[in-house]
Structure 1
Amino acid sequence: MEISVIWFVGLCSVLIGNGVEVEASHHIYRNLHSLQSKQLYRTSYHFQPPKNWMNDILIHVFAGPMYYKGVYHLFYQYNPYAAVFGYIAHSVSADLVNWVHLDPAMYPNEAYDILGCWSGSVTIFPGNKPVILYTGIDAKNHEVQNLAVAKNLSDPLLREWVKWPQSPIMTPINGIDPNNYRDPTTAWQGPDGKWRVVIGSHRKHRGMAILYQSKDFVHWTQYQHPLHSSGKTGMWECPDFFPVSLNSTNGVDNSMNNPSVKHVLKASFNSHDYYIVGTYMPNKDKYIPDSDFMDNDLDLRYDYGKFYASKTSFDSKKNRRILWGWINESHSVTDDNNKGWSGLQSIPRSVWLARSGMQLVQWPIKEIETLRVNQADVEVSFEFQKLEDAEFIDPSWVDPQLLCSKRRASIRGTLGPFGLLVLASKDLKEQTAIFFRIFNNHNRYVVLMCSDQSRSSQCQEVDKTTYGAFLDVDPRHEKISLRSLVF
């Protein structure tokens, strides 16, 4: 029997279940009245500065997220005067939900960063001493790596930072393009006591993470080989390298390395954030991935929507690893100027290694649930009774995003579409469809998830890309669940 279930949550969401016998259980947490008083299009779930510009497509969101003396810190690209590039701003929080915006931590004023203080990462030395490595663009328009240290370690807000006078401490050599040399990672210590850090680059048609070593964090030596490289990618922006536990959902410090962990290498390219899982051998400074970037059509990504230039950090307070990413939106410059701001951060997510050891699991941090008193938080799960009715998947359907574009929410299948229409207008002319389809693939089932933004706005200048991904879910033994955080 085919059924269509429509379920309204104010004007927030519609539940769709076309062509499938489905039992849906849901929990709704909502109070949308407070939205009416907010500035147009601003969100409450996502971090963003009070006004003006935050980041652009070419750079990493943060000089670093970190936890220090009971306070969470975010350092990010910001212009306090307009919707264009400016300083590295600084905000702090006790709970990762409510933020206090401080004065900018750094701004371009030295020969080695006069054309911009750009992306980087925070490393915390033994003794709880934080330092920042960041990319500066010097007077020659070359990208170089610089160091800044906290001026007053007794200040939990770390409001003042001092640039290291001997900066730059790393410069492009050995044929490295000075325009493709940026975004140092959080550093880690090897068993020999030396610090390691990698920098994103591109050389001889290979994206790469250039490896450096240092005894004192000031004098760095480029290692003879990159930590890893690939001839199938372009420039690696905003690389990230960190361990994940094989036996626990807890996060681990960046310097942890033993048989109980694997290592994740992430790079931003092709407008997406890709990652691989593998084994790091510190004695040889060699990284062996289980499968490499762009090896197949099921490459691992953090996210399949607008999400780029991400960074993780280890939260020592709660022993978890938290992932942030930049959402660049899709409004025109005129719209950005009219609304007075541009750019925001993703919802912070806890990340850990799946039990399979092959990919990461992500989930919004627990603190986000405190916003359920004034925002929409919808959880839906689906169960199925006649999976054998699923249509067979065509072998040519290897691109999930293309498949979602061809089979939008308005096109009925045997098992699907079913999901939510988010922020749907009363007449359903404006909506964002988040839905699933199930296909039969020779005695196993393939679950496709789509986000159809073709009708998300009646404004023609807004990006209306449809995104899609195949899920590692077996509907014979698992429910298909969807959680949507709205605004």
Structure 2
Amino acid sequence: MRKYSLEDAQVAVDKAAALARQDPLRPIYHAMCPGNWMNDPNGPILDPASGEVQVFYQHNPLAPTGGNMCWGHMKTKDLVHWTHLPIAFGPSFDKGEDGCWSGSCIIGPGGLPHAIYTSVGPKKRPVDGSEQWIAVGSKDFSRWEKSPSNPVMTHALHGKTRIEDWRDPYAWRAGNTYYCVVGGHLVQDGKPKHNPAVFLYKSPDMVHWTFLGPACWRFTGAADAPAGPGVNLGTNWECPLFFPLGDKHVLEVSVNGTAYTIGTFKGEKFVAPGEWHPLDYSGTFYAPHTVADAKGRRIVIGWVVTTQHPAWSGCFSLPRVVSDRGDGTLGIVPLPELDMLHGKHVHVDSVSITPGAARPLISAKPLAAISGDRAMECRFSIPFVESADGELVVPPFELQLYEPIEGVQSFAGTLGYEPAEALLFIGNRSGAFHAEPGEDSIEARLFIDRGIVELYINGRWTLTSEIPVLPATRIALVARSVEGAAVTFTEIDCWSMASIWS
């Protein structure tokens, strides 16, 4: 692991940023670091003084690849437009630390921001030697110092309980007590050897912590946690979130994608009676974090895993507002304020595609007027059709988002529905979609930002994907019927989208 100063790191970031800004494939309305690598969002927090949301993220300032982890930093007033800030803090090499991994940030003792994160180093292997450290910030979040009490949490807290891959603390305050959950897995005799779990701790001061035991784990005796369609609960849970939503609590973990369950938290116990569900049906969306904004809304932002580009890699997802639907699942919609990015607009009442045919949703000239930057939002409806047995079902369809690229299979840039498997897909990313009682159409919001695509359906279903795009590839929006079935798109509204950077 290369040792570096924050000054050297900032020079490397600035150099990469100059190249990244010239890259025609770089997204323009997804928040991302100035240059080089970013991954997990860390510790978004509402600044009580300014009303701004401060957001941190895993950042390799030296290259567009993983490694050399420090905490990057940006802020926003509206969760739409963002301002880059200097790197918050990096590894304390003189104290045996070579990586500041994921964590969270809350207002702690003394009214100061406290970032709690996983510390790793040559003698602190991630699998069995990681520690949890604290960095304390100034009230304006501009200066950070490591706590002299570090490490504030070590494996010694667990006694005879053996935990591996212990990382990614998520902290909160309740009254005069601080709580924290950390991800990992229990190592146990017999099968399964690895039991993925989230572990619960409490402290009076964020320095002296008590282990309360597993808050939730996959295997209870011989029983597996109930997992809904599209969920693989894996062998290790990382980047846990645990937040209130009305009178319920949501536990979310990252494992082969994302998964959440809704339960109650009383008496320092989490009771999760329901199934686990995907927060997004794609592994392209990973390691989300959350904040309650000034309006009291619960906002979730994830890491969009991208291919490695010469001067950048990774970005944030669009902010999502989540709500409790009352049936054990979350409502998920894009942040309404994203509408302020809307530019030129095209409306089409409807486009019907007969069996075996293909038609553009928008004719060439108006499409060119709104898609020149290849940054758009499109909203449309697809009415369900009646099946042979009289049920309303989703019709099979395909929507080619970009013109075909020579040598690349056409489905790579296609959105569609496969009825045999009940899958909605974008390229090679897909998730199960079933109509719910009372629904009679797909109500879609589709965001295209160069190669990043986010799809929101009926206020409850999301899929994120990266599709192959070349600098000269143009948006197409050509719909086609498949499997001999007709399909109709109605209430088509498309806008160009402005850049979020000044």
Normalized against structure 1, the TM-score is what? 0.69
User: Aligned to 1:186, what secondary structure does the other structure show?
Assistant: strand
With over 3 angstroms needed to count, the CA separation of the structure-2 counterparts of 1:111 and 1:357, relative to structure 1, is: farther
Specify the code of the residue in structure 2 equivalent to 1:168. P
With over 3 angstroms needed to count, the CA separation of the structure-2 counterparts of 1:119 and 1:470, relative to structure 1, is: same
Within the candidate set 288, 313, 321, 1:342 is matched to 313
Tell me, yes or no, if structure 1 residue 275 matches structure 2 residue 260: yes
- After superposition, where does 1:260-299 map in structure 2 within 5 Å? 261-269=247-255, 271-281=256-266, 283=267, 285-292=268-275, 299=276
Q: Is the 8 A contact 2:287 2:303 kept in 1?
A: yes
- After superposition, where does 1:338-487 map in structure 2 within 5 Å? 339-354=310-325, 356-373=326-343, 375-384=375-384, 386-388=386-388, 416-418=395-397, 420-425=399-404, 430=410, 432-436=413-417, 448-453=422-427, 465-471=428-434, 473-474=436-437, 477-487=439-449
CA distance in 2, matches of 1:96, 1:304: 23
Q: Is the 8 A contact 1:63 1:133 kept in 2?
A: no
With over 3 angstroms needed to count, the CA separation of the structure-2 counterparts of 1:328 and 1:189, relative to structure 1, is: same
Q: Which residue of 1 aligns with 2:291?
A: 313
User: Aligned to 2:337, what secondary structure does the other structure show?
Assistant: helix
- After superposition, where does 1:71-90 map in structure 2 within 5 Å? 71-84=52-65, 85-86=67-68, 87-90=70-73
Q: Is the 8 A contact 2:384 2:394 kept in 1?
A: no
Within the candidate set 270, 277, 302, 2:279 is matched to 302
Q: Is the 8 A contact 2:415 2:426 kept in 1?
A: yes
| Structure 1 residue 479 displacement after superposition | 2.5
Specify the code of the residue in structure 2 equivalent to 1:208. A
Give the RMSD, CA atoms, in angstroms. Answer: 2.7
For residues 418-444 of structure 1, the C-alpha deviation after alignment (integer angstroms, 9 at most, x for no partner) is 3532223499964522223568xxxxx
Identity of aligned residues (%): 32
CA distance in 2, matches of 1:128, 1:379: 44
Which of the pair has the greater relative contact order for Cα pairs under 8 Å at 6+ separation? 1
Tell me, yes or no, if structure 1 residue 220 matches structure 2 residue 209: yes
CA distance in 2, matches of 1:483, 1:189: 37
Q: Is the 8 A contact 2:171 2:178 kept in 1?
A: no
For residues 186-217 of structure 1, the C-alpha deviation after alignment (integer angstroms, 9 at most, x for no partner) is 32316xx3221111121122111111111122
| Structure 1 residue 264 displacement after superposition | 0.8
- After superposition, where does 1:3-152 map in structure 2 within 5 Å? 39-55=23-39, 61-68=40-47, 69-84=50-65, 85-86=67-68, 87-110=70-93, 114-125=97-108, 129-141=112-124, 142-151=129-138
Q: Is the 8 A contact 1:112 1:168 kept in 2?
A: no
| Structure 1 residue 132 displacement after superposition | 0.9
CA distance in 2, matches of 1:415, 1:201: 39
With over 3 angstroms needed to count, the CA separation of the structure-2 counterparts of 1:113 and 1:470, relative to structure 1, is: farther
Q: Is the 8 A contact 1:390 1:438 kept in 2?
A: no
User: Aligned to 2:339, what secondary structure does the other structure show?
Assistant: helix
With over 3 angstroms needed to count, the CA separation of the structure-2 counterparts of 1:112 and 1:451, relative to structure 1, is: farther
| Structure 1 residue 97 displacement after superposition | 2.2
Tell me, yes or no, if structure 1 residue 182 matches structure 2 residue 167: yes
Q: Which residue of 2 aligns with 1:11?
A: none
User: Aligned to 2:145, what secondary structure does the other structure show?
Assistant: strand
With over 3 angstroms needed to count, the CA separation of the structure-2 counterparts of 1:147 and 1:477, relative to structure 1, is: closer
Q: Which residue of 1 aligns with 2:358?
A: none
Structure richer in strand, relative to its length: 2
| Structure 1 residue 176 displacement after superposition | 5.5
User: Aligned to 2:333, what secondary structure does the other structure show?
Assistant: strand
Specify the code of the residue in structure 1 equivalent to 2:204. K
CA distance in 1, matches of 2:431, 2:235: 22
Q: Is the 8 A contact 1:148 1:164 kept in 2?
A: yes
User: Aligned to 1:185, what secondary structure does the other structure show?
Assistant: strand
With over 3 angstroms needed to count, the CA separation of the structure-2 counterparts of 1:432 and 1:172, relative to structure 1, is: same
For residues 9-54 of structure 1, the C-alpha deviation after alignment (integer angstroms, 9 at most, x for no partner) is xxxxxxxxxxxxxxxxxxxxxxxxxxxx961321123111121111
Q: Is the 8 A contact 1:112 1:136 kept in 2?
A: no
CA distance in 1, matches of 2:55, 2:394: 43
| Structure 1 residue 239 displacement after superposition | 0.6
| Structure 1 residue 448 displacement after superposition | 3.1
| Structure 1 residue 318 displacement after superposition | 1.5
Structure 2 spans left out of the alignment, 5+ residues: 1-20, 189-193, 225-233, 344-372, 450-502
Q: Is the 8 A contact 2:164 2:185 kept in 1?
A: no
CA distance in 1, matches of 2:151, 2:290: 25
With over 3 angstroms needed to count, the CA separation of the structure-2 counterparts of 1:478 and 1:80, relative to structure 1, is: same
| Structure 1 residue 343 displacement after superposition | 1.1
User: Aligned to 1:97, what secondary structure does the other structure show?
Assistant: coil
Tell me, yes or no, if structure 1 residue 235 matches structure 2 residue 224: no
CA distance in 2, matches of 1:385, 1:417: 10
CA distance in 2, matches of 1:416, 1:143: 50
Q: Is the 8 A contact 1:45 1:368 kept in 2?
A: no
Specify the code of the residue in structure 2 equivalent to 1:182. R
With over 3 angstroms needed to count, the CA separation of the structure-2 counterparts of 1:477 and 1:90, relative to structure 1, is: closer
Specify the code of the residue in structure 2 equivalent to 1:79. N
CA distance in 2, matches of 1:170, 1:420: 51
Q: Is the 8 A contact 2:90 2:100 kept in 1?
A: yes
| Structure 1 residue 357 displacement after superposition | 3.2
CA distance in 2, matches of 1:318, 1:127: 25
Q: Is the 8 A contact 1:112 1:138 kept in 2?
A: no
CA distance in 1, matches of 2:426, 2:205: 50
User: Aligned to 1:301, what secondary structure does the other structure show?
Assistant: coil
For residues 436-467 of structure 1, the C-alpha deviation after alignment (integer angstroms, 9 at most, x for no partner) is 3568xxxxxxx9342141xxxxxxxxxxx341
Specify the code of the residue in structure 1 equivalent to 2:341. L
For residues 281-313 of structure 1, the C-alpha deviation after alignment (integer angstroms, 9 at most, x for no partner) is 1x2x11111225xxxxxx401101211111111
| Structure 1 residue 386 displacement after superposition | 2.7
CA distance in 2, matches of 1:176, 1:83: 38
With over 3 angstroms needed to count, the CA separation of the structure-2 counterparts of 1:429 and 1:169, relative to structure 1, is: closer
| Structure 1 residue 368 displacement after superposition | 1.5
| Structure 1 residue 185 displacement after superposition | 0.6
| Aligned residues between the structures | 367
